[in-house]
Amino acid sequence: MYICALFYTRMFGFLLAILFLLSFGVFALPRKHKALYAGAITLLVAVVAAIPCFDALLQGEYFEAQLQLPLAPAAQVGMDKLSAFFTLTTCLIFLVSAFYSFSYFQKNGRYKTHAQLSLHLLFQVQLLFALIAVLVARNAFVFLFAWEYMAICSFVLLIFNGQVRSRIRTAITFFVQMHVGFFLLLFAFAMVENATGSFSFGALAEYFSGNPNLPVFLLFFVAFGIKSGFVPLHTWLPETYAQLPPTFGGVMSGAVTGMGIYGLLRVLTFVQTDFLAIASTLLVVAMFTTIYGICMAAIQKDIKRLLGYSSIENMGIVGIGMGLGMLGQSAGNDFLMITGFSGALLHVFSHAVVKSLLFFSVGDVCSKLGTQNLERMGGLMRLMPRTSLLFLCGAMAICALPPFMGFVSEFVLYSGVLGSLRGWGYSVTGFGVATLAVLSAAGGIAVLTFSKALGVGFLGQSRSSLLGEEERSPALYAMLALLGIALLLGVYPVFFVKIAYQVVAVSYPIPDAVFIRHAMEYTLSRACVAIGVMVGIAAGIFFLRRCLFKKRRIAEGETWACGATTTAPRVQYTAGSYSGEFAALTRPFNGGSRRMDEPIAEGQLFAPQRKFRSVSHDIFRRKIRPGIRRVSIQMNKLAIFQTGRVHHYILYALLFMILIFLMTYFKFI
């Protein structure tokens, strides 16, 4: 059992094995205690996992162990700084998600049977075990086993509301595309094993030292790019995010999607040649992913799909950081290499925390309203002030605005680029200028995107009835914890940046790593002083205003409507009208069109009522849809073998055994 070797000592292995078995006890508990029990197991797993992570990050200790399992190659596991960074991030997101799930099922658990609820909670805990196994795996056998188990757990969690047909279809699409990535990983590891005779990750370094690096890297890049949502490998992600259950949204966006980034970073530590080609590939794909993702997010009317495309944009920014790191390595620019990889790590953590906050706040709203359509929301700031304020802060953080931690990660990337524009050759200068343009444009469009989500969905007049009122619950405290982390690491990021730099310095040891870290910490500390002063002034003004107006009566009335005597929800800005001009500018990206059910004839002065609507499509998803439909039609023809008769299935098994015998006899296998 792989989980027993995760932390390389008998004590940690024994504890995790016991917790793994105890997680199945959720089936035996009464309904009202199931979520609490699953949360307690998650807390214990996170605590057990955090101990070696802190040892690796703070003390630099590296753990490694090997198990010889029956009917399997040796299972190698280990914990270094890179694994520890992602493991702590994953455990944090799962902890907060456990608190949110407890609150959600307390109020909404009546919609599920005991078995469905138990299965959902079980696989949410099992997914944590799978992710930890992915992060500590040190050979292909353990890694691929954990990667497959991660896909299975995610699939089960996606079909939580299995009676919704669209959710089943989306989950199957997700499962199929994850297996495309799995087979690409299998093929890449098979090539390495064929050349070196080893399944361990260390064999990658041996393979890259004697063979061209780019072909095998591209296999890994496509496989991990599918998981991370790089364009054009992203087609599963927006629809999956739109169908995510509220309890799984933070985990999927904050932890599962980041596994693709971890895989890429792990492979990049072994690359030894073709630095410029790999850097160029990463930067071109990541820049296009960033722009495409945020442009598509800006025109969405479904708020969860909007967050999905925003995640694509953020994965693109992480890819830009990795590309800059490889570009610095190709040019011998240590400053760009360290800041690029460090900025990527910082943005991974920032995105995990902030996007989880956004998904939890949106999940709370959608559960009460029964809709994800922005054009049916409105007025939530008055009815749900705490949740709305949390969404506002999350929107500011995801747009990289101070004083939140999203600003810190992009500040590090900007600093690396600006410090390398002169004297490092045309490739560094050209990609540096392009990076500045892409990050600046993406930041501006992100502000447009989330100002639309906030203005249309949370401000103005209500377009639908809200079921109940906002309550104090563990979900609010879970979101407040995420907001506190985002604010703390935005105001005082020095410790956070130091850990990221140390993770990179271990993977890419250079003599000036400490000097570069101190220089960046000094620059960040000065920036954060200015941010702290700004926050202090704003807080002082707010406090002073509250004191001055505490005893005064504040009059309330209708918002001024440009002279109109009556207002109604229908005359407000909609999500489509808010971003209509931008959608028209980016029509080559979004495949948008405007439709009217019947055109108005020329000379028709008093036209009857018309219906007008604007639509947009993901051009990549639209391109692959005909091919998927043709494959589905051909696969449906295989249903002729599904007769429902037991003796036919026994015959199939017998024929398969005969085939294997013949292939072995003639030495085909």
State the pLDDT at residue 1: 40
3 state DSSP class of 63: strand
Confidence band, pLDDT 50/70/90 cuts, at residue 324: very high
Residues 482, 353 contacting (CB under 8 angstroms): yes
Q: What is the pTM of this model?
A: 0.88
Mean pLDDT of 522-526: 77
User: CB count, 10 Å around CB of 274?
Assistant: 18
Range of lowest pLDDT (60-74, 146-160, 536-550): 60-74
Segment 344-356 mean pLDDT: 92
What's the CA gap between 66 and 198, in Å, rounded?
14
Q: How far apart are alpha carbons 148 and 227 in whole angstroms? A: 12
Tokens standing for 536? Answer: 């202090």
Q: What angle do CA 374, 376, 377 make, to 5 degrees?
A: 65
> Which residues, at least 6 apart from 132, have a Cβ–Cβ distance to it below 8 Å?
3, 6, 45, 49, 87, 90
Does residue 71 have a pLDDT over 60? Answer: no
Asked if the model's pLDDT at residue 127 lies above 70, the reply is: yes
Question: Which residue type is seen at 237?
Answer: L
Helix (H, G, I), strand (E, B) or coil at 77: strand
Phi/psi of residue 30, nearest 5 degrees: -65, 155
Which DSSP category does 552 fall into?
S
Q: What is the mean pLDDT of residues 157-173?
A: 76
Q: What is the CA radius of gyration of the chain?
A: 26
> Exposed, middle or buried by CB within 10 Å (0-12, 13-18, 19+), for 398?
buried
Task: Considering only residues 251 and 423, tell me which one the structure prediction assigns the higher pLDDT.
Answer: 251
Residue 498's identity, in one-letter code, is K
Q: Which residues share a beta bridge with 287? A: none
Higher pLDDT, 254 or 147: 147
Output helix, strand, coil percentages for the chain, rounded to the nearest 5: 75, 5, 20
| 348 close to 258: Cβ distance less than 8 angstroms | yes
State how far the Cα of 660 lies from the Cα of 669, in Å rounded to an integer. Answer: 8
| Per-residue three-class SS string for 309-341 | HHHHHHHHHHHHHHHHHHHHHHHCCHHHHHHHH
In this structure, the number of other CB atoms found within 10 A of the CB of residue 434 comes to 15
- DSSP-assigned states of every residue in 614-658: EE---HHHHHHHHHHHHHHHHHHGGGGG----HHHHHHHHHHHHH
Structure tokens at 653: 């098994």
Q: Is the confidence at residue 323, as pLDDT, over 90?
A: yes
Q: Could you tell me which residues come within 8 angstroms of residue 242 by beta carbon, excluding any fewer than 6 positions away? A: 170, 302, 304, 305, 308, 372
What's the pLDDT score for residue 66? Answer: 60
361 contacts 299 by C-beta, under 8 angstroms: no
Q: Most confidently modeled of 18-22, 283-287, 520-524, 562-566?
A: 283-287
Q: Per-residue confidence at 533, pLDDT binned at 50, 70, 90?
A: confident
Select, from the ranges 118-132, 156-170, 532-546, the one with the highest average predicted confidence (pLDDT). 118-132
Q: Does residue 658 surpass a pLDDT of 80?
A: yes
- Average pLDDT of every residue of the chain: 81
The answer, yes or no, to whether residue 2 has pLDDT greater than 50, is no
Query: In this structure, what token pair is assigned to residue 350?
Result: 């920032």
pLDDT for 182 beyond 60: yes
Residue with tokens 């780019």: 214
Cis amide bond preceding 232, omega within 30: yes
What DSSP string describes 560-579?
Answer: P-TT-S---GGGSPPHHHHT
For 413-459, the pLDDT digits (tens) are 998 888 888 777 788 888 989 999 999 999 999 999 999 988 888 88
Q: Are 63 and 56 in contact (CB under 8 A)?
A: yes
Dihedrals phi, psi of 262, to nearest 5 degrees: -60, -45
- Degrees, nearest 5: CA angle 151-309-243: 50
Specify the range with the lowest mean pLDDT, choosing from 126-135, 142-151, 605-614, 655-664: 605-614
For the stretch 469-475, contacts whose Cβ atoms lie closer than 8 Å and that sit 24 or more positions apart, written own/partner, are 469/383, 469/384, 470/383, 470/384, 470/385, 470/386, 470/387, 473/103, 473/106, 473/107, 474/99, 474/100, 474/102, 474/103, 475/99, 475/100, 475/103, 475/104, 475/360, 475/364
